[in-house]
Chains A and B, each alone.
Chain A
């Protein structure tokens, strides 16, 4: 389909060129060499305007139908449902405006293409019209603003006292992530990059007892349906913790702690087995197999079969390996989560293990 579209475009381009050269010859025959558009130009260009808006509509339809598998699957977090609804409303709205205004713009261009004998209408002002198209955007935007602001406040209002949220630190450095679980006390120990030494790579304050039971991991496991509050810390430059499947993103800023919170609602397992993801992964694996064939033929290793996992990626330019700064996220049942957490050593254990060596 992509190839087809490319061919169509190139063909259209070719036709345009051919038409142009014809016009060029015709105009030379009449020795109209003023380089100012004449009726013939106006006629052709007006028609091309109409053709162009059709191209634009086809392009839009093509993108929405062919690329609909690009849209992210249904949100895997609680607030993401609101997010998706607001996105849908906004998207429908702007597409309506887009189709109408592009249509009018290009249709008028076609319809009123100039002719020598035509007369333009001297129409300089109309307060009523201008009022109408000022007030309509005002009302529509007011609606969007209000809806957006309510959702925004809900998402960004992070209350540690409300319910029993899990508190996790996301720690970013060039070019990887670490997660720090707050342990039994659900309280993160104090930390600063100035404490970084040896195995204490996150700079925990050894004298802070809250830190003793913290657990530092390189995968992010989250229990389903429990609110997580992320406290984010960066070791060196700006990073951004982007978790697209959870409609979550927050910059990670050296020198301060930033926060984001959400409640995951779909486990990794459920997401993997969802209709959308099964199809998507099948497509991806097909592509990967084809690529592997070429790679093997060239004597390289084949690509691994892809299975879906949630991921967190860095979304703020942070250095040469920015493009590969990722962390796996696993959403699982409370029991699985607890079982996994148990296997992870606490910071205190890590320290004493090192001391005994």
Chain B
């Protein structure tokens, strides 16, 4: 079912670089997928710096609630007067940290960057199906980022109802200051973000289906592409629901409707709203919210699959099972949203159903974890920084995934719901894991993006500091949660029962600072390598996939001549003939563009 790229497309590109390109069309309003991918990455990283900085601020508050820090006053202005953090701004920091990290860094920054970079390159296409829509998609994302950052300067504070923006808190400015202008800007920003994400996703799906080069059947796609493809589909299925939820919330806020509001008495006044239900919002929100977890995670898993296979010099174990797991996870992810709502007041029978579907999702996840481990077995592991981050991802994916078995069980959820146990769980399984996927991708494809190599030793330092820091932050956090400490508490000092947790909170904050300092190493490495890095060769990691057959210098259209044809799957690493010799003598990899050798059997995966 592979589709050949139209030949008429080819000759346009035989003479590249001759298009008149101005600075603006090349670097700003570019329609080239490689440039757009870089734009996504840089924007995502900048948002990431903001998000992580916020987390450091509220971690300081949690560790030393009685202490006065001048830094609060410098960064938070009137909300940090005399070095005391305002409880409202604490909630705002938590809210915006969550929003930025989930949507702006791990959805757009990760999936946006690598889907754009790799889909055309790895399937053998000149560009995305629609370069123009792709450009629009980025600029909408940029606009939404700007609005989100602007919302930080709202007079009464930015949105502060938690990143899940449950109404009525998010609907009523009387309930919390941040639900005024701050919340309006949040909703506008997210609506634009959703439009951007949808345009991007549609483009990815169309490109993967229609623009594969000759010979690139679906079963010869690298797992990265499978992951991006399926991610785009669940994005298309679930993001519109969030848009509807947001639209109804906008109506409740501004036009006096009662979709989510009923029987409310606040600030000495009865509101007219009647008949609405906040539980409806929770359903709509989590119908996106849960697939969103996999929108964040699947691209990271796809990236890791590719990097682990390349650096283990071994085929990924169980290619078909990996594809099947991605599909199973994607399908199940759309029918588990209710596990966020076991104690929301919805019918307990629904809780039973969602427990069932939720624990089912552990099966494909387990298969993936075991397959990664088996891929390492008897490999010839090349510990490039990208490989370290990939192994790190498998590690945090397992640790974080296992506690999901507790949270996904409606019974056990009763007492750990909304405690720090949950915070620890999802940070490990989707936050840290997806970040590792992002870092792995940057280290691995940096030569393709910038034509330079990143410094490996700084990469190693970055990895080990991050790995120790991440576990140091989130492993002890489970225990704090088991003590019954609720999340989103400005301080725990009003409950003397929690006094003995203070030391652990300090420890967590110290680790958070260590981990954050490690990211500075990455930033330095990233920026300095762009300018002063060693020039990359065409295929530095000796990889099989198509992107490494393109020249280091970027061309609009990717390949200088014709688009290469594909003759094999992407994981022929260390493949030997019967006599024990490599298929191509002296070389432990066989690029996808090399036809089957004499006497070689094609694997049917």
Contacts and interface: CB of A to CB of B under 8 A. Distances in A.
Partners in one complex: yes
Contacts of A130: 318, 321, 367, 370-371
B422 to A, nearest CB: 11
Given A236-B266, A253-B344, A284 B496 contact: yes
B374 A129 contact: yes
A13 B264 contact: no
Contact of A316 (B277, B418, B455): B418
Given A20-B460, A24-B457, A86 B409 contact: yes
B461 interface: yes
Contacts of B491: 323
Max chain B CB contacts within 10 Å: which of A2, A115, A157? A2
A93 B356 CA distance: 18
A255 B362 contact: no
Given A86-B412, A193-B270, A324-B494, A37 B384 contact: yes
B388 A45 contact: yes
Contacts of B313: 114, 120
Contact of A63 (B384, B415, B475, B541): B475
Nearest to A121: B378
B534 A45 contact: no
Nearest to B464: A16
Contact of B503 (A2, A46, A174): A2
B461 A20 contact: yes
Nearest to B164: A317
B480 interface: yes
Interface stretch (B51-59, B124-132, B394-402): B394-402
A206 B603 CA distance: 80
A20 B388 CA distance: 15
Contacts of B278: 238, 253-255
Nearest to B352: A149
Secondary structure at the A interface, as helix, strand, loop or mixed, is helix
Nearest to B490: A323
Contacts, number: 405
Interface stretch (A102-110, A182-190, A330-338): A102-110
A96 to B, nearest CB: 10
Contacts of B496: 284, 288, 303-304, 306
Interface string A13-50: 10011001001100100000111110001100110110
Max chain B CB contacts within 10 Å: which of A46, A120, A133? A120
B482 A83 contact: no
Given A105-B394, A114-B381, A322-B91, A37 B456 contact: yes
A134 B482 contact: no
Interface stretch (A140-148, A210-218, A219-227): A140-148
B395 A105 contact: yes
Given A83-B412, A240-B418, A249-B343, A59 B499 contact: no
Interface in B442-461: 453-457, 460-461
B489 A323 contact: yes
Given A119-B380, A124-B603, A318-B169, A94 B406 contact: yes
Given A238-B166, A316-B166, A254 B262 contact: yes
A287 B366 CA distance: 43
Contacts of B527: none
Given A152-B410, A315-B419, A101 B373 contact: yes
A308 B496 CA distance: 9
**Interface size range on B against A:** 35 or more
A122 B360 CA distance: 31
Nearest to B477: A63
A56 B392 CA distance: 12
B359 A105 contact: no
B506 to A, nearest CB: 7
A90 B344 contact: no
B468 A55 contact: yes
Contacts of B418: 240, 242, 249, 315-316
Contacts of B318: 124-126, 130
B176 interface: yes
B543 to A, nearest CB: 11
B472 interface: yes
B476 A67 contact: yes
A35 B277 contact: no
B507 interface: yes
Contact of A45 (B175, B383, B411, B471): B383
Contacts of A236: 168, 172, 175, 264-266
A98 B468 contact: no
Contact of A317 (B91, B351, B455, B472): B91
User: Closest 8 interchain pairs by CB?
Assistant: A255-B262, A244-B484, A45-B383, A156-B348, A35-B453, A193-B265, A258-B345, A323-B489
24 contacts: A2-B507, A12-B468, A13-B465, A27-B457, A34-B453, A52-B464, A72-B415, A86-B411, A102-B395, A112-B381, A114-B380, A114-B383, A122-B315, A123-B314, A123-B377, A124-B571, A126-B317, A148-B355, A256-B277, A258-B345, A317-B91, A317-B161, A318-B169, A320-B87
